[in-house]
Amino acid sequence: MTASDPVTARPGSNTPGVSDAVAIEIRGLNKWFGQFHVLRDIDLTVCRGERIVICGPSGSGKSTLIRCINALEEHQKGRIVVDGIALTSELKNIDKVRSEVGMVFQHFNLFPHLTILENCTLAPIWVRKIPRREAEETAMHFLTKVKIPEQAGKYPGQLSGGQQQRVAIARALCMRPKIMLFDEPTSALDPEMIKEVLDTMIELAEEGMTMLVVTHEMGFARKVANRVIFMDQGRIVEQNEPEAFFSKPQSERTKLFLSQILRGH
Amino acid sequence: MFVLTFAAGWIAWRLVSTAAGSLAGALAALAALAALAAAPARRALVVLPLTRILAAALPLGLPAIASNRFGGFMPAVIIGVSGIALSPPLGILRGPGRQSALVVINITSVACVEIIRGVPLILWLFTASPLSNLFLPPGTKADPILRVVIMVTLFASAYLAGVIRGGPAALPKGECEAAAALGRDGWKSMRPVILPQAPKAAIPGIVSTFIGLFKDTTLVMVIGLLDPVGLANSIRANAARTGIYRERFILIGLPFLLFCRFMSRYSQDLEKKLATDRRQEGPHP
């Protein structure tokens, strides 16, 4: 256990691009699925501009943790404050938080009946009430950024997995979120498509986006993350800067996990 | 004549099913049902104009036939087409009613669906006459065909309620989550995300309900209306035609087969037209 590690106390404070302003604060978070205790006493502070990679074996609660941050999962105990807004059962707050937080899913979850452009303009038009023209310009801007402006008129089913995931990133960015959550964004992709998605995410990180990424892409973690968090059985077992995390893992559980996941790398 | 009637029904069905998405469609159908229940209004609003139009289109000088003298495929087609046209709006109203947070609406619609669906249609047809005496103003002589149309419509709409409810439920959970994450959760995701995709998922179920409804019209025999099967019985009873039975059944079965084939064919086309995922166009190279 390294919960009292100095790195945790002031996360990423000496890393360039990371401010002291708190983006997400989680205190004593507990969640149950029926009898199953998925998240146990999670404490986590994320600063603005921080890039955090969360890893851990399946069922360790890492996806559930980031899904709690935009209230896709309800938590039963503890406190989550996102950009100064406390996540309570109050719907207004949930809506506010969701408009600040973008999310990218493992299975893209694009709307198959809408074109790529319409996928990107749906939320700005319906939620932000932005005029269609303006929303389309924004959408094209972000589609250009993820390098698929030429696919704007196509439907998700006509795109490759990697392209679809880049659309999903653009769709989230169109809401101009302050924080981006990635839930295993490359796990459903063929190996040759993983790179194009990771490249997009690296670019986003370089621009200073606050990012929480659940992934097993350790190369991405080394390159981009300020902090790597290892979770097991609903707890944060260990967290550290990537270099220290990979070279000097503290707990036996982390060592075992890293030896399994890094085999062949 | 068959073809003409059926074509007219088909057009009506298309009109109704395109309008069906709106509450207005449902209300209009209800209003029409209510108006039709009163015989003089029915005569003024529907029968006379329709007869005039038909007479103008096909100047054959055919005599007017009262509905209690309908026989053969005529009641089958009239009941089938009316039931098909009138049941979707009711079914659509009941789907959300079942999920309503208002306990009264919720319990009423669940009870309606369960009671109507849980009792055989044949029983409803038998009880149609005493029931219509209960609900219609005293002195109204409910037309037997109309009674059957109302019963068949209620019956089919109970089935449709379940089928239509299944449409949105068939959508992948991930899409609803994506909509929620973008700030449109629950009912707010209906309009842009769920509704455009629901019809395709519901159509196969809707059409099989319609096919079932159309074939069930032969049950009107039990309340004394002469459906094709009932009509054929008089041929059997005729001593001059003893031994002729294969022809009767083929002649009755074939039109039903053709109608149902047409309906399922049309539903396949509709499904193709409503396909929203565009996967069949193949992936981008």
Residue A192 pLDDT greater than 90, yes or no: no
The answer to whether the Cβ–Cβ distance between B193 and A110 falls below 8 Å is no
* pLDDT band, residue B37 (cuts 50/70/90): low
Give the pLDDT confidence of B236-253 residue by residue, as tens digits: 888 888 777 788 888 888
pLDDT recorded at residue B110:
83
pTM of this prediction? 0.74
At B173 the pLDDT is 87
Min distance B168 CA to chain A CA atoms (Å): 14
Which ipTM was obtained for this model?
A: 0.85
B273/A contact by beta carbon, under 8 A: no
- pLDDT over threshold 50, residue A117: yes
What pLDDT score was predicted for residue B217? 87
Within 13 Å and on the Cβ side, how many CA atoms surround B158? Answer: 20
* C-alpha dist (Å) from residue A178 to A135, A171, A208, B79: 18, 14, 10, 60
Which positions in chain B touch A130 (Cβ < 8 Å)? Answer: none
Tokens 């006509």 appear where?
A158
CB-based contact (8 Å) between B278 and chain A? yes
Closest alpha carbon within chain A to B191: A126
CA distance A227 to A216: 14
One-character DSSP codes across A76-102: SEEEEEETTEE--S-HHHHHHHHHHEE
Contact state of A113 with B276 under an 8 Å Cβ cutoff:
yes
| B278 contacts A158? CB cut-off 8 A | yes
pLDDT tens for A29-71 read 999 999 999 999 999 999 999 999 999 998 899 999 999 999 9
Tokens 């089928």, located at residue: B163
**Cross-chain CB nearest to A123 (options B177, B182, B197):** B182
Whether B283 and A163 lie within 8 Å, measured CB to CB? no
B175-190 tens-digit pLDDT: 989 999 998 877 777 7
**Under 8 Å CB-to-CB from A177, ≥6 apart: which residues?**
A99, A100, A101, A102
